[in-house]
Every structure is written in structure tokens, then in C-alpha cells.
């Protein structure tokens, strides 16, 4: 039986969320006096999840007879493909603790892939055929997330100059893309339900920028890091405004879009707890990492049945990822 559809690219949020969980545990390890084995195991699971999904995407793509180019040009799904090199950058950070050379090689390959993809994608946007209704939170991934995550990873591996270059890209496009996203949300029709979870990514840029800043200049509460922390708090509060809409959503694999932003905020909070060391900061660190683990474990548990059906049933249809007025066919 011929598989008719490609797997939706939003499934790539699964290893991305797992990477966030592993990073959170890594940040909490010193404060909780834990063995680094825990975070290393989580990183291993992340790598396996990414590899398995890439194989699944390639296999389904071959059998569906539909070229990858069509999916990458799709206005809703295309930007989400950036999750592959971004997740690889995160994995490279942990790999470097075992083998610096291997970590650096993976980082440079990932940064190169992310840069090439971002350049191609931005070029396609500038052709003037993109509808504002197509824009969603995933549009922050190719430039903002790739730049800031790459900056953090590069700085950790000693590539400080590269880290600053990537930080500049991520910070600059944060201003541009978040402005466009706010305009789209404020003045155009609401996002369709399948795309609504992507709005969680709004909290990630200031959190990841804060982590990258600490890696570049050191763990200190300087004016820039404080400004990023304040912006992060505001973006978290904005998420509360979305809770009524989030609550009426039926569960879908798209809920993995919540996981990495939550992990980024949690990791940033853990680092700040380690810097400020308020009363009970070790206990609070444990609470934060436990809450993050429960969140991601819950999403994983709910998505297990859906994932099994999606990848095992030849008749499985992909989750629609189109904005109003945008062709959903890929």
C-alpha cells in the first residue's frame, strides 16, 4: 500500500523538547549534586529520537512519492525544518563534554546547514508570495532559534567569535520576526488550532538569549542579562493570556511545541537561581527541574498512542498545518 502523505515536520519538535529537558537536567546537576550520567542519558535519548525521526521522514517521503522541496516550501511547515540543525547544535554541546573534536565538528556542520537553510528560506520569503496569515511561532526557528542556540553552543566549545556572530543574528532577527509575529496576531485572523501551540516559542528567545549571554560573558547578573530576564518574565506572562485557547485544544503531537520553550525558561531560571542563591535555592532548583520533567513526560505519554498510529498506519493522514486561506496540501 502506498503511503500518501509525508510526515508533518512539526514532529521534529519531539527531539527538540527532549534536548531542552536534557539541558535543564545538565544545568541542575551541580546544584543538586547529581551524577552527569542522568543528563548524558537524556542526551542519548534525544540523539536516538532525532535519528529515528529523520529515518522515518526519509522513508515516508520515498514511499509517498512527494519531494521534500514541496514540504520545505510549504508556508506553514517549511520553517519548522530548521529544528534538525538546531537540535543537532544542542546535542553537539553535550557531545563536546565527551569529545571536544566531535562536538565541534557536529556544531560546525549544524551551523552551516542552519545558515544555508535560513538563507534559502529568507530568499523565498522575499519573493513577495508569502501571506501574512501564514506566519506563526515556527517562523522564529530558522534565524532566531538557530542563532541563539548556536551562540550558546559555540561559546561553550571555545568558538567565542562565532558565538558573538550567531548571537548577533539571533538577536537582530528576534526584533524583526517577533514584530512581524505580533502584527500578524494582532491584526489578522486568529491562528488555526493546529498552529496555536507554536505560540509558546515566544518565551524562548529571551530565555535562550540569556543562556547564550551567560556562556559568552560569564554567569553574572549584568544589565544585559537582567534585561533579558525581564523580557522573559513578560513573555511568560503573555502565555497566560493564551491559556483559555490552549485549554480548548484537543491533544495532538503539536503539543511538543510547548516543551522546548518551557525547558529554556526552566534552564534559564535554574542558572539564575545558581547566580543569586536565594534562600532555598537548591530546593527550588529541584522543583523547577521536576516540574519540567513532569510536563515533558506528560506530553510524551499522551503522544505515544498518537505517534504509534501515525507511523504504523499506512492510511494515517498528517495533522493539518495551514493558516486561514493558505493551501494545506504539500
Query: How does pLDDT run across 245-289, given as a tens digit for each residue?
Result: 898 888 887 899 999 999 999 999 999 999 999 999 999 999 999
pLDDT for the residue 5: 67
CATH numbers and ranges of domains, the chain: 9-312 (1.50.10.150)
Which candidate, 82, 83, 94, places its Cα nearest to that of 156?
94
For every residue of 101-159, DSSP letters joined together read HHHHHHHHHHHHHHHHHHHHHHHHHTTTT--GGG--GGGGIIIIIHHHHHHHHHHHTT-
Tell me which DSSP letter residue 11 carries. Answer: G
Residue 88 has pLDDT above 60, yes or no: yes
pLDDT for the residue 148: 98
pTM of the predicted structure, to 2 decimals: 0.89
Distance CA 289, CA 278 (A): 17
- Name the band, by pLDDT with cuts 50, 70 and 90, for residue 328: very low
Distance CA 113, CA 110 (A): 5
Q: Which region among 47-61, 82-96, 104-118, 140-154 has the lowest average model confidence (pLDDT)? A: 47-61
Can you tell me the mean pLDDT for 173-189?
Answer: 93
Residues 44-63: tens digit of each pLDDT: 999 999 999 998 888 876 66
Neighbour-count burial for 71-94, b at 16+ CB within 10 Å, e otherwise: bbebbbbbbbbbbbbbbbbbbbbb
- Given the C-alpha cell 520553517, which residue does it identify? 79
Can you tell me the mean pLDDT for 307-316?
Answer: 48
pLDDT for the residue 325: 42
CA dihedral 95, 106, 290, 255 (to 10 degrees): -160
pLDDT for the residue 306: 58
Amino acid at each position: 500500500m502506498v503511503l500518501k502523505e509525508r510526515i508533518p515536520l512539526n514532529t521534529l519538535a519531539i527531539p527538540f523538547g527532549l534536548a531542552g529537558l536534557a539541558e535543564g537536567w545538565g544545568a541542575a546537576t551541580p546544584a543538586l549534586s547529581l551524577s552527569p550520567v542522568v543528563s548524558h542519558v537524556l542526551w542519548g535519548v534525544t540523539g536516538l529520537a532525532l535519528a529515528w525521526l529523520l529515518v522515518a521522514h526519509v522513508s515516508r517521503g520515498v514511499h509517498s512519492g512527494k519531494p521534500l522541496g514541496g514540504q520545505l516550501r510549504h508556508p506553514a511547515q517549511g520553517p519548522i525544518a530548521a529544528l534538525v540543525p538546531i537540535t543537532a547544535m544542542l546535542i553537539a554541546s553535550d557531545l563536546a563534554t565527551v569529545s571536544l573534536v566531535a562536538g565541534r565538528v557536529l556544531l560546525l556542520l549544524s551551523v552551516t546547514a542552519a545558515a544555508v537553510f535560513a538563507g534559502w528560506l529568507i530568499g523565498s520569503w522575499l519573493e513577495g508570495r508569502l501571506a501574512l496569515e501564514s506566519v506563526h511561532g515556527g517562523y522564529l526557528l530558522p534565524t532566531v532559534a538557530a542563532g541563539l542556540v548556536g551562540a550558546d553552543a559555540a561559546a561553550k566549545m571555545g568558538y567565542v567569535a562565532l558565538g558573538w556572530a550567531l548571537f548577533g543574528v539571533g538577536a537582530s532577527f528576534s526584533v524583526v520576526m517577533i514584530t512581524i509575529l505580533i502584527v500578524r496576531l494582532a491584526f489578522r485572523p486568529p491562528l488555526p488550532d493546529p498552529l496555536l501551540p507554536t505560540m509558546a516559542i515566544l518565551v524562548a528567545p529571551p530565555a535562550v538569549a540569556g543562556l547564550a549571554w551567560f556562556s559568552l560573558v560569564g554567569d553574572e547578573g549584568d544589565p544585559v542579562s537582567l534585561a533579558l530576564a525581564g523580557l522573559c518574565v513578560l513573555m511568560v506572562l503573555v502565555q497566560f493570556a493564551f491559556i483559555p485557547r490552549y485549554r480548548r485544544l484537543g491533544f495532538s503531537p503539536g503539543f511538543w511545541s510547548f516543551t522546548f520553550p518551557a525547558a529554556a525558561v526552566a534552564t534559564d531560571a535554574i542558572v539564575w537561581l545558581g547566580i543569586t542563591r536565594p534562600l532555598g535555592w537548591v530546593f527550588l532548583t529541584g522543583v523547577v527541574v521536576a516540574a519540567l520533567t513532569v510536563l515533558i513526560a506528560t506530553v510524551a505519554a499522551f503522544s505515544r498512542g498518537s505517534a504509534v498510529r501515525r507511523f504504523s498506519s499506512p492510511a494515517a493522514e498528517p495533522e493539518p498545518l495551514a493558516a486561514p486561506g493558505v493551501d494545506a496540501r504539500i
